[in-house]
Structure 1
Amino acid sequence: MTAVHHRYATVQGRRLFYREAGSADAPAVVLLHGYPTSSFMFRHLIPALADRYHVIAPDHLGFGLSDAPPADEFDYTFDALTGLTAGLLDQLGVRRYAVYVQDYGAPIGWRLALADPEAVTAIITQNGNGYDAGFVPGFWQTVWDYHREQTPETERAIRTALSLDAIRWQYLTGVPDESLVSPDTWHHDHALVSRPGNDAIQLALFRDYATNPPLYKELHAYLRANQPPLLAVWGRGDEIFGPDGARAFSQDVPNAEIHLLDGGHFLLESAGDEVAGLIRDFLARATSAR
């Protein structure tokens, strides 16, 4: 069995949990999770990569086993989460790395790349959006409405995303065989976002999500200028970030490798072996070329 270490580090006065495996001398791969999960989503992928790579998967502040200071004591923004992630990587001595982004992990990964383009050796995006084309309108209208105006009505609508049924929907929508997805996943995530005060943390990040699309123009310029090796592996049945979001990367990185697989938002839960195989093949070529 691959040894996966479960560790904590204090960054900017905040205690961050992270999973780590593989040799520290190997090429680094940083895994950035989305909402409403944590590095728990990578529990199977980490050992599948650790024989060749130094794998690091942090829990964002407010998620998983990392600290979750109240929203009135910490300004939960994607800029702030990026700063903490950069601080953790600096503390671990990780200067260059491939990055895997999913959902919330994408705007964090994009900010890291924009701040230090030379640090990112390759990009793997698994339902991690970087283009307006990726937004599925029916889902996102509730988020945009809440950002525009915080009223009892818009808050009531956005709070449904915190419910067990909504989290279950994220895991199962678009999955051809729902029996492949363990119910542990949505119960685990729901328990953590249901901790006292965590609702205010999530509401703050829902409001701040609208700061991400304005970064896309800068992201696209970075992609065109740097042409990083890029793998987009996407659950085609995702009703949050649709497959057009995967295809769009080829506009700026013509050699991007795009794979639309049967599955949903959390593709690793139903097609983990296939995704891991694609990643291993991609990284073997990407890391040897850079």
Structure 2
Amino acid sequence: MTEPRTETVTLNGRPFFLRHWGNERLPKLLLLHGFPEFGGAWADLAPLLAHRFHCIAPDQRGYGQSWAPEAVSDYATPKLVSDMAALIGDAPFAVLGHDWGAAVAYGLAISRPDLVSRLIIMNGVHPVPFQRALAAGGAQAEASQYIHYLRAEGSEQKLARDGFAKLLAMFSANMDTGWLSGATRDAYVAAWSGPGRLRGMVNWYRASPLVVPKAGGSIKMPDLPLEKLQVRCPHLLIWGADDRALLPEATAGLEEFAADLTRVEIPGTDHWLHHQKPQEVARAILDWFPDR
């Protein structure tokens, strides 16, 4: 496996840990991990893209070896987006986001379209289709009940007990985590074990404005500024259809917010598709980009 180059940089006055794959003269591709991963989550996929891109994978705020403030307010979406906007700088990047990394990737594409040339999302959701699916109740709302558990005060202590047994169980619930073993598992446990890291990770859920109805219920759809939530750049959505946390209904109507949308499904994968079939995911990405 190709080992990345690593460095710590200062973004908005705070330290962030980065991993790099590929020649720095190549077009840049920003890789944004989700929960409960870290920048090392891209170790299977990034080497397959490194001949075409300079892949940059940060540990996002609260994760791994990056800054992990304690306050919930420090994890508001605009602050998370600001971190990555500072990393990108002035010239636009292609951006790939998975899970919660998709929330930051969408935030960048929507609020800072000058910084995102092309957007790739893997099993992540645009805020409007996801909130619509949750508000309606039903399968997606049931699948998202774990969010209430994570938002509760003290959840990080429960997740950490007995060698992160609860977190590992949540990670693998009804999905294939055969890839999470040996040195890979050790790296994840090390990333979770840093001071304040687990609280920082869970604070992403606490700070989110997402409204999740109680089990068996539904809610009125919150009023969202639909016209301000458009993705103007070319957008690729790669999906593992066996995902049990994010269901297909969570992306229903995405075309309303992304006029230039391409959907690709990777058969036989779930939420962890970039670990399960990295070759197929890499091919979908490379085929979507225009020839240089």
Normalising to structure 1: TM-score of the pair?
A: 0.79
Taking the aligned partners of 1:118 and 1:258, their CA distance within structure 2 comes to: 23
What SS class does the counterpart of residue 111 from structure 1 fall into? helix
| 1:178-193 matched pairs, under 5 angstroms | 179-182=178-181, 184-193=183-192
Q: In the TM superposition, what are the counterparts of 1:200-219 in structure 2 within 5 Å?
A: 200-210=199-209, 217-218=225-226
1:273 pairs with 2:279: yes
Contact 1:96 1:118 in 2 (8 A): yes
CA contact (8 A) 2:72 2:203 kept: no
CA contact (8 A) 1:247 1:258 kept: no
Q: Which residue of 2 aligns with 1:76?
A: 75
Matches within 5 A, 1:119-158: 119-130=115-126, 131-132=129-130, 136-144=140-148, 154-155=152-153
Q: Deviations over 1:101-136 (max 9, x none)?
A: 111111211221223213211111101111225653
Aligned equivalents of 2:147, 2:228: Cα separation in 1? 23
Classify the secondary structure of the residue corresponding to 1:240: coil
Greater Cα shift, 79-88 or 250-259: 250-259
Deviates most, 58-67 or 22-31: 22-31
Describe the shift of the 1:89–1:255 C-alpha distance in structure 2 as closer, same or farther (beyond 3 A): closer
Task: Give the direction of change, closer, same or farther, for the CA distance of 1:196–1:6 in structure 2 (3 Å limit).
Answer: closer
Q: Which residue of 1 aligns with 2:34?
A: 34
- How far residue 196 of structure 1 moved from its aligned partner, in angstroms, is 3.6
SS in 2 for 1:98: strand
CA distance in 1, matches of 2:229, 2:76: 23
Task: State the percentage of identical aligned residues.
Answer: 25
Deviation, 1:251, is 3.7
CA offsets 1:207-256 (integer angstroms, 9 cap, x no match):
11225997975487423xx2x22211112122221123345423433552
Task: Check conservation: 2:119, 2:234, Cα contact below 8 A.
Answer: yes
- Mind listing any 5+ residue stretches in structure 2 that lack a counterpart? 135-139, 213-221
For 1:150, the equivalent position in structure 2 comes to none
Q: What letter is aligned with 1:87?
A: A
Given the superposition, is the C-alpha separation of residues 215 and 107 from structure 1 closer, same or farther in structure 2, using an over 3 Å criterion?
farther
2: CA distance between counterparts of 1:56 and 1:170?
A: 24
Contact 2:123/2:246 (<8 A) preserved? yes
CA contact (8 A) 2:236 2:263 kept: yes
> Partner of 2:25 in structure 1?
25
Answer 1 or 2: which has greater helix percent: 1
Q: Which residue of 2 aligns with 1:236?
A: 241
Q: Point out the more displaced range, 209-218 or 105-114.
A: 209-218
1:86 equivalent in structure 2: 85
- Aligned counterpart in structure 1 of residue 250 of structure 2, from 245, 248, 252: 245
Mapping of residues 42-121 of structure 1, within 5 Å: 42-69=42-69, 71-72=70-71, 75-90=74-89, 95-121=91-117
1:144, distance to aligned residue in structure 2 (A): 4.9
Aligned-pair distance for 1:34?
0.3
Describe the SS at the equivalent of 2:144. Answer: helix
SS in 1 for 2:7: strand
Cα distance in 2, alignment partners of residues 111 and 229 from structure 1: 15
SS of residue matched to 1:99: strand
**Deviations 1:61-96 (Å, cap 9, x if unpaired)?**
221121334x05982322222212211222xxx611
CA distance in 1, matches of 2:159, 2:96: 24
1:59–1:156 Cα change, 3 Å? closer
1:164 aligns with 2:170: no
Contact 1:170 1:265 in 2 (8 A): no
Quick one: distance in 1 between partners of 2:60 and 2:194?
15
**5+ unaligned residues in a row in structure 1: which ranges?**
148-153
**Partner SS state of residue 210, structure 1:** coil
Aligned to 2:270: 264
Letter in 2 for 1:19: R
Aligned residues: CA RMSD: 3.2
User: TM-score, normalization: structure 2?
Assistant: 0.78
